Amino acid sequence: MPDGAAAQSTSKAEVGWVPPAYVEPGRFSEYEVSLGTGELTVPGTMSVPREQTPGAGVVLLAGGGPFDRDETSGPNKPLKDLAWGLASRGATVVRFDKPTHTHRDFAAAPDLTMTKEYVPHALDAIDLLRRHRSVDPERVFVLGHSMGGKIAPAIAAAAPTVAGLIIMAGDTQPMQHAAVRVVEHLADMLPDQVPPAAVETFRQQAALVDSAALTSSTPATDLPFGLPAPYWLELRDYDPVSIAAGLDVPMLILQGGRDYQVTIADDLVGWRTGLAAHPRTDIRVYDADDHLFFPGTEPSTPAGYQTPQHVDPAVVADIARWIEHGNVPSPSWRA
């Protein structure tokens, strides 16, 4: 489900962010880039290792909602953590503002779909990396978080040059059902903040998405998160697991044990079941991590995203190792 409720502009949230301990700023440089064409051009950042030998390239995709390139959530920047952490370990990384963040008219378009929101700019980022001097064009990976992980298989299907996928907290449960599950969970945990009326609204909206009454002209105000009907019509027919099962690329699927938005029981089970016969799928669960892969011990709540934190160093190290030499069948990676 969309994670964008906590999204802020980069400029507002930059103050107070400090690099995590696993970052080595002297090992890479950063450059501004542009992705997309015409009115839908978006700004981004390329993190380039100072080493001269061409290595892996990684495209980062934020979760659902109008996120900036860092996936800014309160004082936190999980995609910046990942970009700097991976660049410190030799990967060239591109991250970019989503078009729904940069272009408000696009975000409000009545024909907006997940494909339009993600795919064109992701394909442009892949091409940019493949042409860069620091990247081996046969080693470009796509790393998607949350909805970015959901759309990642479709991007790989559209770009056969992709070397592999890293899916972090990628949801497989229909998003309208996940929305109801999450709001029910929050109503139980935070009854003073989530009233019963909010739960009932989400139930009614989800029922409409499921029904034959949903058409392209259904008002967005009647649908979850105010997303337009074409967005939901596409999502109803989109099955990331079946697309992933048809890909001949390695996949690393990561899940936080404390995640209440994308869960082991409701979402990871889809990847495990659907990719059980895929010989190049590795799955890891980080028991202490929440949806943003921030480690902790308390039950995760939205308020937790407002505390300065960083992506789990074990997650960054595992991704870097997998990109470098672990993206082959290996039972030791399965969890």
Examine residue 48 and state whether it is found in any structural domain, yes or no: yes
Residue 14 lies in a domain: yes
Each residue of 245-262: pLDDT tens digit?
A: 999 999 999 999 999 999
Distance separating alpha carbons of residues 5 and 3, to the nearest angstrom: 6
For residue 268, the 8-state DSSP code is: I
Residue 234 included in any domain: no
CB 45, CB 69: distance < 8 Å: yes
- pLDDT of 327 reads 64
pLDDT range class, residue 116, cuts 50, 70, 90: very high
How high is the pLDDT of residue 325?
Answer: 81
Single pTM value for the model: 0.93
Please say whether the dihedral angle defined by the alpha carbons of residues 48, 49, 50 and 56, taken in this order, is positive or negative: negative
Confidence band (pLDDT; 50, 70, 90) for 52? confident
Task: Dump pLDDT digits (tens) for 127-139.
Answer: 999 999 999 999 9
The proportion of the chain whose per-residue pLDDT surpasses 70, expressed as a percent, equals 93
Could you tell me the residue range of the domain that residue 316 belongs to? 4-173+239-333
C-alpha to C-alpha distance for 124 and 275, rounded to whole angstroms? 28
Residue 15 banded pLDDT, cuts 50, 70, 90: low
Number of neighbouring beta carbons within 10 Å of residue 19: 15
- Whether 268 is covered by a domain: the verdict is yes
2, 64 Cβ separation under 8 angstroms: yes
DSSP β-ladder status, 28-35 and 55-61: unpaired
pLDDT at 330 over 80: no
Question: Between 327 and 251, where is the model more confident?
Answer: 251
| Residue 231 counted as domain residue | no
| Sign of the torsion formed by the C-alpha atoms of 235, 238, 244 and 245 | positive
pLDDT of residue 1: 60
* Residue 275: CB atoms within 10 Å: 20
Count of domains in the chain? 1
With a cut of 90, say whether residue 10 has pLDDT above it.
no
Q: Please classify residue 64 by burial: count the beta carbons closer than 10 Å to its beta carbon, then call 0-12 exposed, 13-18 middle and 19+ buried.
A: buried
- What does the pLDDT look like over 266-288, one tens digit per residue? 999 999 999 999 999 999 999 99
CATH code, 95: 3.40.50.1820
127 inside domain: yes
Q: Are 311 and 320 in contact (CB under 8 A)?
A: no
CA–CA separation, 310 and 308 (whole Å): 7
Is residue 233 in some structural domain?
A: no
Q: How far apart are alpha carbons 169 and 293 in whole angstroms?
A: 9
Residue 215 covered by a domain: no
Sheet holding 92-96, edge to edge: 28-35, 42-49, 92-96, 55-61, 135-145, 164-168, 251-256, 281-286
- Residue 51's pLDDT is 84
pLDDT for residue 155 is more than 80: yes
With a pLDDT cut of 90, the percent of the chain lying above it is 90
Environment class of residue 247 by beta-carbon count within 10 Å: exposed (0-12), middle (13-18) or buried (19+)?
buried
